[in-house]
Amino acid sequence: MAIKLIVGLGNPGKDYQAHRHNVGFWFCDALAYSYTGTFKKESKFFGEVAQVNIAGVNVWLLKPNTYMNGSGQSIQSIAKFYQIDANEILIAHDELDIDPGTARIKFSGGHGGHNGLRDTIKALGSNDFYRLRVGIGHPGDKSQVADFVLHTPNKSEIEAIQNTLADSLNVIKQVVKGDVESAMKTLHTT
């Protein structure tokens, strides 16, 4: 099964672009740059959309403008319009339970307290989509999470996250073509 839609979760606007919560946007921006795609605002999809060709597959890139907690509306609208099934979607998002410098690919599962995933599962009526979980680390105390994700990582964390995004870009062709097992094997051992 090929991936037809790659979504980066984040919050729109300059005030948020450097925050940990926006690593999904960072990944989509890197993909657009690598595959010469240009994002355009699409009001009917409640976000910015680009189309790229990865390994011979036409793939939509989406950065929702609905803010994290409303991500599902944007994802559901483009998926419905282009008749893309949940299992043809890859969602890149920040992951508290993984340290900076590490990314994991996962299929299906819960939302783990991530509001963007929670809203997406609700809007799609399914949790059977792929996730690129980009590690941002955990502040150590649950009460500090909201503040933590809405701040810029420190210099060493940014470097680690950027290296992880580069590693993730290196396996995206395999993921898009449906060879997720080998992509996971490569990514999870770097």
**Which residue type occupies 156?**
S
Q: What's the distance, Cα to Cα, between the start and end of the chain in Å?
A: 25
Residue 18 has phi, psi (to 5 degrees) of -95, 0
Contact 65, 59 (CB under 8 A): no
CB neighbour class for 25 (10 Å; exposed up to 12, middle 13-18, buried from 19)? buried
Tokens of 73: 């509306």
Contact 40, 78 (CB under 8 A): no
The pairing of beta strand 47-54 with beta strand 40-42:
antiparallel
Q: How many CA atoms lie within 13 A of 132 on its CB side?
A: 31
Annotation marks residue 138 as catalytic? no
Active site residue: 21, 93, 138, 151, which one? Answer: 21
Strand-pairing partners, residue 51, are 60
Active site residues: 21
